[in-house]
Copies of this chain bind each other. A is one copy, B any other.
Amino acid sequence: MSLQSIQTDFVASVENRDAAGAILLVCEHASNAFPAPWGRLGLTDAQARAHVAWDPGALDLSRALAARLDAALVHAPASRLIYDLNRGPNRADAMAPRSEVHDIPGNTGLTPLDRLHRAEALYLPFHTSLQAEIVRRLALGRPTVLITIHSFTPVYHGQHRAVEFGVIHDADDRMARAIVAAAQDLSGLACALNEPYSAADGVTHTLRLHATPYGLANAMLEIRNDLIATPGQVEAMASQLAPVLQTALATMAEG
């Protein structure tokens, strides 16, 4: 296969590009597609459907939020097990040979060239597309707040997680704190700052790459995936979270 032909196949998807809202939504773990030339990486059907392969519900929730917030949305075209777009290519877990309790056979013994091919096929086009959206908005003078949307599994390494809605920040915590405050006021969700992960776990790569260099307010949202497992649940969650995000935006604007 030629590298060139791979590169053109796996661009990011951009929806609602000309939406008027200040929020730009990003969903790096939107997909559990396992396209050629990599294929299923030796996973079972059940694994390929489960949280190890993607963030179930995150894309559906992102779209429901995009509609309510008049927000643009950038999302990923393939499983994070082929390449985790929220990790730099110098991170072992960008192409993890093991994730939680799952071995990933197709990620064992990758050569430097294997890693390069995946980074050039998936990581570079995704982040180039996302940067192009940000640059376009900033050059045009449009307010921009970067929000990444993730979901997490209710049981991890055998432990049940009580938190329902986590808000994670990197160096700039303004938007994350405003969201937590609004969620505590407006929603019945069990909400926590920097749960179930924090920047110390290396999960804020997209924020560091695209928000911090431009001084853009930003946050990473984590929703427990059993709360967004059906279309009805997704709509209900979006209806709870949209006013939370709007209130946080308004707080920032007053700030």
Contact between B138 and A132 (Cβ–Cβ < 8 Å)? no
A88-B214, A213-B88, A213-B205 given as contacts; is B115 within 8 A of A139 (CB)? yes
- Asked if A135 lies at the interface with its beta carbon under 8 angstroms from chain B, I say yes
The one of B116, B119, B139 in contact with A119, judged by C-beta atoms closer than 8 angstroms, is: B139
Select the stretch in A41-49, A120-128, A222-230 that faces chain B.
Answer: A120-128
Q: A246 to chain B: closest CB distance in Å? A: 23
**What residues of chain B lie closer than 8 Å to A138, measured between beta carbons?**
88-90, 119
B139 lies within 8 A of A116 (CB): yes
Determine the interface band of chain A, counting residues with CB < 8 A from chain B. Answer: 20 to 34
Main secondary structure on chain A at its contact with chain B? Answer: helix
Q: How long is the Cα–Cα vector from A213 to B118 in the complex, in angstroms?
A: 19
CA distance A115 to B140 in the complex (A): 7
With A138-B89, A208-B212 already in contact, the answer to whether A127 and B116 are too (CB < 8 A) is no
The answer, yes or no, to whether A136 is at the interface (CB within 8 Å) is yes
User: A208-B213, A209-B213 known; A131 and B135 CB under 8 Å?
Assistant: no
A112 on the interface (CB 8 Å rule)?
A: yes
- A residues 49-75 in Cβ contact with B at 8 Å: none
Q: Tell whether A141 is near chain B: CB-to-CB under 8 Å.
A: yes
Question: Which B residues are in CB contact (< 8 Å) with A209?
Answer: 209, 213
Q: Which residue of chain B lies nearest to A111 when distances are taken between CB atoms in the complex?
A: B140
Chain B residues lying within 8 Å of A128, measured Cβ to Cβ, are 124, 128, 131
A residues 96-132 near B (Cβ < 8 Å) are 112-113, 115-116, 118-120, 123-124, 127-128, 131-132
- A112/B140 contact (C-beta < 8 A), A212-B208, A213-B205 known: yes
The docked-state distance in angstroms from the alpha carbon of A205 to that of B214 is 8
Expressed in whole angstroms, the Cα–Cα distance for A88 and B215 within the complex equals: 10
Q: How far is the CA of A212 from the CA of B215 in the complex (A)?
A: 14
Which residues from B are CB-within-8-Å of A115?
Answer: 139-141
Interchain nearest-CB distance for A241 vs B (Å): 27
Are the CB atoms of B135 and A120 closer together than 8 Å? Answer: yes
Closest A-B pairs by Cβ, 10 of them: A90-B138, A89-B139, A208-B213, A119-B139, A116-B139, A209-B213, A89-B138, A115-B139, A112-B140, A88-B214
Q: Which residues of A contact B (CB under 8 A)?
A: 88-90, 112-113, 115-116, 118-120, 123-124, 127-128, 131-132, 135-136, 138-141, 171, 205, 208-209, 212-215
List 5 contacting pairs A-B, 8 Å CB cutoff, sorted by A: A112-B139, A115-B139, A119-B135, A171-B171, A208-B212
